[in-house]
Amino acid sequence: MTIPQGHPPVATGKIGVLLVNLGTPDAPTPAAVKRYLRKFLSDPRVVEIPALLWQPILRGIILNTRPRKSARAYQQVWTDKGSPLAAITADQATALQARLGETARVSWAMRYGNPSIASQLEALKDEGCERILLAPLYPQYCGATTATVVDAAADALRAMRWQPALRTLPPYHDDPAYIAALASDLGAQLDALDFAPDALLLSFHGMPERTLRLGDPYHCHCRKTARLLADALSRPQLRVETAFQSRFGRAKWLEPATDTMIGQLAGEGVKRLAIAAPGFAADCLETLEELAIRGKEQFLDAGGQGFAYLRCLNTGPAGMEMLENLTRRELAGWTIA
pLDDT in tens, 55-103: 999 999 999 999 999 999 999 999 999 999 999 999 999 999 999 999 9
Closest of 180, 213, 224 to residue 319, by C-alpha: 180
Does residue 25 have a pLDDT over 90? yes
Quote the distance between the C-alpha of residue 302 and its chain's center.
30
- Tell me the whole-structure pTM to 2 decimals: 0.95
Nearest-angstrom CA–CA distance, 64 and 226: 37
Does residue 7 have a pLDDT over 80? no
Does residue 1 have a pLDDT over 60? no
**Residue 112, SS3?**
strand
Percent of the chain with pLDDT over 90: 94
Per-residue pLDDT reduced to its tens digit, 180-204: 999 999 999 999 999 999 999 999 9
Per-residue pLDDT reduced to its tens digit, 197-238: 999 999 999 999 999 999 999 999 999 999 999 999 999 999
CB 134 within 8 A of CB 169: yes
Q: Where in the chain is the domain with CATH 3.40.50.1400?
A: 14-172+319-331, 176-310
Average pLDDT over residues 3-19: 81
Nearest-angstrom CA–CA distance, 89 and 297: 28
In order, the DSSP letters of 230-241 are HHHHT-TTSEEE
Beta-bridge partner residues of 307: 273
Write the CA distances from 144 to 117, 120, 183, 200, integer angstroms.
Answer: 16, 21, 27, 27
Average pLDDT over residues 312-329: 98
Longest distance between any two alpha carbons in the chain, whole Å: 80
Does residue 332 have a pLDDT over 50? yes
CB 279 within 8 A of CB 273: no
Pick the CATH number of 14-172+319-331 from 3.40.190.290, 3.40.50.1400, 3.30.390.30, 3.40.50.2300: 3.40.50.1400
Contacts of 36 (CB under 8 A, 6+ apart): 23, 24, 25, 26, 112, 113
The CATH code of the domain at 176-310 is 3.40.50.1400
